[in-house]
Amino acid sequence: MYLPSLVLSLVALVNCSDWCYNGCANTPSSWKNLPESSCGKKHQSPINIVTRSVVTDHLLPNFTFVNFSSENTIKSITNNGHTVQCTLVENEVEVSGGGLNGTYSVVQFHFHWGDKDYHQGSEHSIDGYRYQMEMHIVSVKKGLSVDEATTQADGFAVFGFFINATEDGVLSGPWYTLTANLTNITGSVFDFEQNNTFSIDDLIGNVDRTRFYRYYGSLTTPNCSEAVVWTIFQEPIQVPKELTHLFSTKVELINTYRPTEDLNGRQVTASPATPLPPAHSWCYNYHCDHDPSQWFLLPESHCDGKSQSPININTRSVMPDNSLNSFTFTNFDNKQAIKYIANTGHSVECVLKDDLVEVSGGGLKHIYSTVQFHFHWGTEVQNSPGSEHTVDSNRYPMEMHIVSKRKNLTLDEALKTSDGLAVLGFFIETQPTSSPSDQTAWKKLTQYFSAIRNIRSQVEVKEDISINDLLGKVNRNSYYRYSGSLTTPLCKEAVVWTIFQETIKVDGNLMTMFPKYTGFHNVYRPIQPLNARTVYTTRSASCISAPVLLYPLLVCFCAHFW
Ligand SMILES: *[C@@H]1O[C@H](CO)[C@@H](O)[C@H](O)[C@H]1NC(C)=O
Ligand SMILES: *[C@@H]1O[C@H](CO)[C@@H](O)[C@H](O)[C@H]1NC(C)=O
Ligand SMILES: *[C@@H]1O[C@H](CO)[C@@H](O)[C@H](O)[C@H]1NC(C)=O
Ligand SMILES: *[C@@H]1O[C@H](CO)[C@@H](O)[C@H](O)[C@H]1NC(C)=O
Ligand SMILES: *[C@@H]1O[C@H](CO)[C@@H](O)[C@H](O)[C@H]1NC(C)=O
Ligand SMILES: *[C@@H]1O[C@H](CO)[C@@H](O)[C@H](O)[C@H]1NC(C)=O
Ligand SMILES: *[C@@H]1O[C@H](CO)[C@@H](O)[C@H](O)[C@H]1NC(C)=O
Ligand SMILES: *[C@@H]1O[C@H](CO)[C@@H](O)[C@H](O)[C@H]1NC(C)=O
Ligand SMILES: *[C@@H]1O[C@H](CO)[C@@H](O)[C@H](O)[C@H]1NC(C)=O
Ligand SMILES: [Zn+2]
Ligand SMILES: [Zn+2]
């Protein structure tokens, strides 16, 4: 992009001409040596957008464009010695929304192009592909002067449109009018206002403006201030290839683009409507290479094994087992046990500090070290089914999995051992308004979700949250037990499953934050066949809903019954 010069004087042009794209001393590789230059810094533009590394930001809303369809907003066309710039009438054209913080006032637009032999000349590239041209619509955050804007990370918002040169067709309409007034004379200002019969929308045409990439970068000309929130629209504007030719011949500047700069760790995001190639080889829905019915095709997959999870628990055929005694939970009350919360691309996962939290007892034959817990859910509709396990074919709204590994085994060893992992599964239901429970821990947890909207993002947990706080008063003595597998690829059959009968009660609005912030819906694997396995239960299991006073009596009754 070109720094908006609102009033252009010849003096300014002389000052600018100490850099160029080609044919002078200061070509892009030495821009970093210019006075006051930021061109050698780490958050520079343009970049190559690698679509496989782009992540969808589900909360990027649509833009609101004001006066883009108005004619007479283009004041002048200028050849400033570096590009052709169309300066707009001040304070008439605006953009907001699209994840921008505030309203931006559009000041100018300009172009980057190749040469008369139709070499590609866009600044940004997509998966290494450079389009023929790129148009930059430059706006300044309202309330800031241009100078002030260069000092803020989002002082400018620049909208990049690729221009794709089509083989057929002749220039007509607005693009014809625009190019008819191109001139080779550096510093010439062609006053356009009175004769302007097209709008910015007329130039953009039918490009889908809900599909765009977003990242933070810099001006692409000296002094390359890192002050730009970039929007690159995915669809190009289609214009006959004669256009590139006219720019490079009538203006006689060629290849007016800066080479792409390193990302240096920056994340490019995309609006929800932007199509992206699958970043992950498996998923729960039907928009990837491997939905659950295809998981068994993944390399080294066990997903077509005979002891898979989750299962439906048929309460009429569960077997009571006297060895299923009480658990010992170590450090479940530790409020600093959670190291960070991560968006794994499939779920929200809370990773625990090493060697701190443990589970034993409960009929387990070993001590297990707890490594993480995560969640399965449905949609944003309250009470929509989303648990993995079902009980008598009833699917609960959510399920929490606390995953532990045999203390004496490495993770690799544990995955190869039939009881290498112990997973505690808790169903989650909406808490009834009649008996509200303490939601503080769930509020603290879900507050972190806005920081992990993007796949592979994670946030350190500083708040005090213990696992006990999340589990609340749920009865941990009545549960089902069976041998199964991990419920995500590669579905290793290494899990001793414990499914608790009583549900955790969570506020419905907090529950909807799981699908809302991640954009993941129905993150549960379909029910797997039980095959030859037996599901066991604690002796008191089937009496769980009995009133407290009758409880001991019923325990005996159940025991005898079975
Ligand atoms: C954005 O606009 C598109 C098309 O106009 C529409 O389908 C979509 O629902 C809009 N998205 C939001 C978040 O408003
Ligand atoms: C849009 O343009 C009209 C005139 O062309 C002007 O009156 C109006 O103020 C502009 N809107 C904004 C938000 O600047
Ligand atoms: C939005 O901009 C305002 C003013 O420039 C600033 O105070 C605020 O912190 C910004 N908010 C975010 C989320 O960046
Ligand atoms: C660009 O134009 C060419 C030639 O008309 C066409 O084949 C191609 O599909 C266009 N590319 C895009 C992304 O629109
Ligand atoms: C500018 O473009 C218009 C419309 O095509 C044309 O009539 C006019 O002669 C052009 N002016 C100059 C100075 O080239
Ligand atoms: C454009 O300007 C350059 C240098 O200013 C000059 O060499 C060239 O002949 C001009 N071309 C046209 C078509 O006027
Ligand atoms: C611009 O329009 C005015 C009247 O609106 C006309 O007199 C003038 O010739 C036009 N200029 C060009 C370059 O078309
Ligand atoms: C160059 O950039 C620095 C910050 O990166 C800024 O403070 C300075 O004003 C800029 N100079 C010009 C001439 O824009
Ligand atoms: C773990 O290994 C140690 C020796 O390395 C052994 O003494 C201990 O009994 C083992 N514990 C379990 C639960 O297997
Ligand atoms: Zn530009
Ligand atoms: Zn799970």
pLDDT at position 548 is 38
Atom 2 of ligand 9, residue of closest alpha carbon:
408
Rama region for 264: left / alpha / beta (φ>0; ψ in -120 to 50; rest) = left
- For the chain, the average pLDDT equals 89
Q: What is the mean pLDDT of residues 142-152?
A: 96
Report residue 390 as tokens: 């079902």
Rama region for 427: left / alpha / beta (φ>0; ψ in -120 to 50; rest) = beta
Q: What b-and-e string marks burial along 320-348, b requiring 16 or more CB atoms within 10 Å of the CB?
A: bbeebeebebbbbebbebbbebbbbbbbb
Task: Tell me, in angstroms, the distance from the centre of ligand 11 to residue 421's CA.
Answer: 12
Which residues have CB under 6 Å of ligand 9?
A: 366-367, 407-408
| pLDDT above 60 (res 557) | no
Q: What is the mean pLDDT of residues 325-336?
A: 97
Q: What is the mean pLDDT of residues 317-335?
A: 96
Task: Categorize the per-residue pLDDT at 33 as very low, low, confident or very high, splitting at 50, 70 and 90.
Answer: very high
pTM of the entire predicted model:
0.63
Task: Dihedral sign for Cα 109, 112, 118, 120, please.
Answer: negative
User: What is the per-residue pLDDT across 228-272, written as a single tens digit (0 to 9) for each?
Assistant: 999 999 999 999 988 888 898 889 899 999 999 998 878 899 998
Task: Tell me, in angstroms, the distance from the centre of ligand 7 to residue 195's CA.
Answer: 6
pLDDT at position 562 is 31
Residue 436 to residue 431: CA distance in whole angstroms = 6
pLDDT at position 455 is 77
Ligand 5 site, residue 183, Cβ cutoff 6 A: no
Q: What is the mean pLDDT of residues 173-185?
A: 87
Task: Tell me, in angstroms, the distance from the centre of ligand 6 to residue 241's CA.
Answer: 22
pLDDT at position 183 is 84
Task: Tell me, in angstroms, the distance from the centre of ligand 1 to residue 168's CA.
Answer: 32
Q: What is the mean pLDDT of residues 362-390?
A: 96
> Could you give the maximum distance between any two Cα atoms of the chain, in Å?
100
| pLDDT above 80 (res 192) | no
Q: Closest-lying ligand to the alpha carbon of 84? A: 10
pLDDT at position 436 is 85
Select the more confidently predicted residue: 364 or 545: 364
Task: Tell me, in angstroms, the distance from the centre of ligand 7 to residue 196's CA.
Answer: 9
Task: Find out if CATH 3.10.200.10 is the number for domain 292-559.
Answer: yes
pLDDT at position 150 is 96
| pLDDT above 80 (res 15) | no
Q: What is the mean pLDDT of residues 121-141?
A: 96
Ligand 7 site, residue 22, Cβ cutoff 6 A: no
Atom 9 of ligand 1, residue of closest alpha carbon:
62
Lowest-confidence pick of 17-21, 27-31, 32-36, 442-446? 17-21
Q: Closest-lying ligand to the alpha carbon of 221? A: 10
Task: Categorize the per-residue pLDDT at 287 as very low, low, confident or very high, splitting at 50, 70 and 90.
Answer: low
pLDDT at position 280 is 53
pLDDT at position 50 is 86
Ligand 3 site, residue 101, Cβ cutoff 6 A: yes
pLDDT at position 321 is 94
* Burial category of 93 from C-beta neighbours within 10 Å (exposed 0-12, middle 13-18, buried 19 and up): buried
Ligand 9 atom nearest to 408, measured from its CA: 1
pLDDT at position 283 is 85
Transcribe 320-356 into DSSP letters.
E-TT---EEEESTT-TT-EEEEEE-SSSEEEEEPTTT
Tell me which residues are annotated as active site.
82
pLDDT at position 282 is 83
For the chain, the domains span: 5-11+56-145+161-210+231-260, 292-559
Q: What is the mean pLDDT of residues 483-510?
A: 96
Local structure of 231: helix, strand or coil: strand
User: What is the per-residue pLDDT across 446-482, written as a single tens digit (0 to 9) for each?
Assistant: 999 999 988 778 888 999 999 999 999 999 999 999 9
User: What is the per-residue pLDDT across 213-238, written as a single tens digit (0 to 9) for each?
Assistant: 999 999 999 999 999 999 999 999 99
| pLDDT above 70 (res 58) | yes
Residue 421 to residue 366: CA distance in whole angstroms = 10
User: What is the per-residue pLDDT across 396-428, written as a single tens digit (0 to 9) for each?
Assistant: 999 999 999 999 898 889 999 999 999 999 999
Atom 3 of ligand 9, residue of closest alpha carbon:
408
User: What is the per-residue pLDDT across 71-123, written as a single tens digit (0 to 9) for each?
Assistant: 989 999 999 999 999 999 999 999 999 999 999 999 999 999 998 887 899 99
| pLDDT above 80 (res 281) | no
Ligand 2 atom nearest to 93, measured from its CA: 14
Residue 46 preceded by cis peptide, ω within 30:
yes
Is 292-559 the same fold as 5-11+56-145+161-210+231-260? Answer: yes
Local structure of 243: helix, strand or coil: helix
Atom 5 of ligand 9, residue of closest alpha carbon:
408
Residue 229 to residue 426: CA distance in whole angstroms = 43
pLDDT at position 189 is 80
Rama region for 298: left / alpha / beta (φ>0; ψ in -120 to 50; rest) = beta
Residue 420 to residue 305: CA distance in whole angstroms = 17
Which residues have CB under 6 Å of ligand 6?
A: 184, 252
Ligand 7 site, residue 326, Cβ cutoff 6 A: no
Task: Categorize the per-residue pLDDT at 278 as very low, low, confident or very high, splitting at 50, 70 and 90.
Answer: low
Report the CATH fold assignment for 5-11+56-145+161-210+231-260: Carbonic Anhydrase II (3.10.200)
Pocket-testing residue among 36, 152, 220, ligand 8, by greatest number of atoms within 8 A of Cβ: 36
